[in-house]
């Protein structure tokens, strides 16, 4: 579970490397972000020739968390790092053309609000869906 002031790695080729979370989108009562939630953040580290620059406001969907997540079959899944993928604010489509690392299959089902169609493009770009 991520909260405000958490730092996440970015798992795509937009040029951003680390993002500081400053808002969890959704209802005002949302304190924590889990897999599939969209967050607003500020770029803290980036590559020099990337699409985004340091200090830019970006939106990202959370794709990996260190906190374990229970599945319906009773198993648990967790990852080694907190990671996200930069998305367009309006459509929810990824800004980059490649995604690095595994993605849980819950991403397809956990879209909420205006992203209710799911993040199918993220799932299709991922090298491995766990």
DSSP 37-106: -EEEEEEEEE-TTSSS-TT-EEEEEEEE-SS-EE-TTS-EE--SS-EEEEE-TTT--BSSS-B-SEE-TH
Domains delineated in the chain: 7-129 (2.40.150.20)
- Tell me the pLDDT of the chain (130 aa) as tens digits: 899 999 999 999 999 999 999 998 866 667 899 998 899 999 999 999 999 999 999 999 999 999 999 999 999 999 999 999 999 988 889 999 999 999 999 888 776 666 767 788 999 999 999 9
User: Both tokens of residue 20?
Assistant: 């500081």
Dist CA 15 CA 23 (whole Å):
21
Q: Which residue has the tokens 């406001």?
A: 57
pTM of the model: 0.91
């Amino acid at each position: 579970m991520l909260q405000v002031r958490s730092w996440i790695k970015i798992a795509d080729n937009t040029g951003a490397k680390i993002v500081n979370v400053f808002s969890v989108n959704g209802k005002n009562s949302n304190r924590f972000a889990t897999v599939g939630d969209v967050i607003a953040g500020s770029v803290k580290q980036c590559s020099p020739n990337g699409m985004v620059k340091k200090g830019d406001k970006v939106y990202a969907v959370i794709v990996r968390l260190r906190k374990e997540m229970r599945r319906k079959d009773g198993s648990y899944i967790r990852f080694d790092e907190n990671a996200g993928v930069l998305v367009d604010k309006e459509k929810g489509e990824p800004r980059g053309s490649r995604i690095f690392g595994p993605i849980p299959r819950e991403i397809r089902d956990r879209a909420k609000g205006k992203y209710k169609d799911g993040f199918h493009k993220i799932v299709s770009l991922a090298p491995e869906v766990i």
